[in-house]
Structure 1
Amino acid sequence: YVDDIFFTSNDSLESIDQILDEADSFHPNIKLVRQIGRSVPFLDLFIENSNGALLTSVYHKEATEPYVVPFGSDHPGHVFRNTVDTAITRAVRYSTALSQFEEEIRQMKLMFLYNRYPPRHIHWRLTTLFSKYLSKNFILPMLNNSDDFSYLRHQLLRTSTHTEYNKTSRTSTTNQTHDKNIQNQFLQPTDNNELTTRKRLIIHRRHEKRRANNHRRIHELWRRTLHA
């Protein structure tokens, strides 16, 4: 990933050091920092070699604070849902064993509670994820054993990240096009190089119900400031 590289090898430690030393001497301004062992962190992933089998889990840096977008912040509702969904999906994809997943979920819940996410919101997102991928025979979707977790993880790993990226790109492109059209609509110059005066001066974007009354305050401030 960019300038971070992870690889496994059956060669001796001396042979690997020799290869890395040669690469380190390629350019005086480029220095390689190596970390060799049976367990290493790579980005936000922790990888462990257990008798030839690679086990993975979520890696948390010691200096990282448990901070995400606070639930009481002025963001659309989908931001909070996506924040929790991303953390859950990462826990499933990165955890090789059910015990690792359960530990990550415990840490995740504490982090979201610390940022004032309601417990029912966290439970709702977990239930939604389990209901989507696990059997519909579950009255309350939950992971009872390792087989359930392995099936859930397999289903999530099959989900193409490329598809997710394309979906995000389309959303971004749509928003940019919308903003550009709005700008052209409100800033069309006249023949006298003056901006056209229009009745609609404020563009309303209502994201969630708790901000529904803000437009009244904005209109009042607008009236008192410009028409006083």
Structure 2
Amino acid sequence: MDQIKARLNIANEQDENIRITCTIGSTVEFLDVLVDNNQGQLKTSVHRKPAAEPYILPYLSDHPRHTHRSTVKSQLLRAARLSPHVEDFDRERLNIEFILLLNG
């Protein structure tokens, strides 16, 4: 473990804008996925970075309408891909609906 931490420290010294962290536990966040290991069973779900949420493309922005449709579609596809159960997808769909309402 000490060797891993030493290599991470060396990597972190290469560029001050990039930080690599080491976390040991039953869950890992990678990009937009949260992977949970529950007694050997892996479960995925949507991960949201606290700093980025609940922002999404505002409806009143000056983007073409197809961009707004694409945003909604991509959020729902992401939820479908990462939700292993219908209940998880439905919870995420409600979350997306709430975020869209907040953004007009």
SS at match of 1:79: helix
Shift in CA distance, 22/83, structure 1 to aligned 2, threshold 3 Å: same
**1:114 paired to 2:102:** yes
More helix by share: 1
**1:52 paired to 2:36:** no
**1:98 paired to 2:86:** yes
Shift in CA distance, 86/18, structure 1 to aligned 2, threshold 3 Å: same
TM-score norm. by structure 2 comes to 0.80
- Of 9, 14, 21, which residue of structure 1 is paired with 2:5? 21
**1:42 paired to 2:30:** yes
RMSD: 2.2
Paired positions, count = 100
- In structure 2, what is the equivalent of residue 64 of structure 1? 52
- In structure 2, what is the equivalent of residue 33 of structure 1? 21
Shift in CA distance, 109/40, structure 1 to aligned 2, threshold 3 Å: same
Could you say which structure has the larger radius of gyration? 1
More strand by share: 2
- Offset from partner CA, 1:150-172 (integer Å, 9 cap, x none): xxxxxxxxxxxxxxxxxxxxxxx
SS at match of 2:88: helix
- Offset from partner CA, 1:75-123 (integer Å, 9 cap, x none): 222111101001000001111222221111111001111122xxxxxxx
- Offset from partner CA, 1:176-221 (integer Å, 9 cap, x none): xxxxxxxxxxxxxxxxxxxxxxxxxxxxxxxxxxxxxxxxxxxxxx
**Residues of 2 paired with 1:27 and 1:21: CA distance?**
10
**Residues of 1 paired with 2:84 and 2:23: CA distance?**
22
* Of 49-58 and 96-105, the range deviating more from structure 2: 96-105
* Of 83-92 and 67-76, the range deviating more from structure 2: 67-76
Relative contact order (alpha carbons < 8 A, sep ≥ 6): 1 or 2 greater? 2
- In structure 2, what is the equivalent of residue 201 of structure 1? none
Structure 2, unpaired ranges of 5+: none
Structure 1, unpaired ranges of 5+: 1-16, 117-228
CA shift for structure 1 position 26: 5.0
**Residues of 2 paired with 1:47 and 1:22: CA distance?**
26
Aligned residue identity for 1:98: V
Trace 1:1-228 onto structure 2 (pairs within 5 A).
17-24=1-8, 29-30=13-14, 32-116=20-104
